């Protein structure tokens, strides 16, 4: 049954420390998952409540890398940075080799993974991957304009 605004307004307010505890619990789960999801990514669909490991070929893989970067930003733990950097290399390979990139979800893939990596660490491979992805997406947009006869030199 869907929650109503009346029901939601009856929820108790969060007590001091609840947000921090929830965040720390989430970070712990992320860290436990690094073993399985560093060289691989979580599938876009769960099976029996669990996400299977997959290659970097789906539209959702950037979300997991983004979660790792958030955990790193929160904790400063090198384990998160190292895992996310492995994934950044995968994103660079993906865009350089044009692996499953002919869609509009490039922002989901590259903003959360490579743009975040560059902002947090200055990783030049992340910057390169993000810029290549942006160029690739822009080219798709410009092609659609050309097919409609709209000039692209403006």
pTM: 0.84
Range 21-42 burial, b when 16+ CB lie within 10 A, else e: eeeeeebeebbebbeebbebbb
Q: What is the largest CA-CA distance in the chain?
A: 59
Of 134, 139, 115, 135, give the one whose Cα is nearest residue 126: 115
Of 103, 108, 109, give the one whose Cα is nearest residue 91: 109
The pLDDT averaged over each successive group of 10 residues in the chain (154 residues) is 84 88 96 97 93 95 97 97 98 97 92 98 98 91 59 52
Per-residue pLDDT reduced to its tens digit, 7-26 = 888 888 888 899 999 999 99
**Residue 154 confidence (pLDDT):** 45
DSSP code for 46 = E
**Residue 113 confidence (pLDDT):** 98
Place of tokens 């160029």: 135
């Amino acid at each position: 049954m869907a929650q109503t605004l009346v029901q939601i307004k009856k929820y108790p307010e969060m007590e001091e420390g609840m947000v921090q505890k929830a965040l720390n619990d989430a970070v712990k789960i992320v860290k436990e998952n690094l073993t399985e999801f560093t060289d691989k990514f979580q599938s876009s669909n769960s099976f029996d409540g669990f996400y299977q490991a997959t290659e970097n070929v789906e539209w959702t893989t950037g979300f997991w890398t983004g979660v790792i970067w958030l955990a790193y930003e929160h904790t400063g733990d090198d384990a998160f940075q190292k895992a996310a950097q492995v994934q950044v290399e995968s994103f660079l390979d993906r865009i350089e080799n044009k692996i499953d990139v002919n869609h509009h979800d490039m922002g989901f893939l590259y903003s959360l993974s490579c743009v975040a990596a560059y902002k947090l660490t200055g990783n030049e491979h992340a910057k390169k991957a993000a810029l290549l992805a942006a160029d690739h997406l822009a080219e798709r947009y410009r092609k659609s304009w050309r097919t409609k006869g709209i000039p692209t030199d403006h």
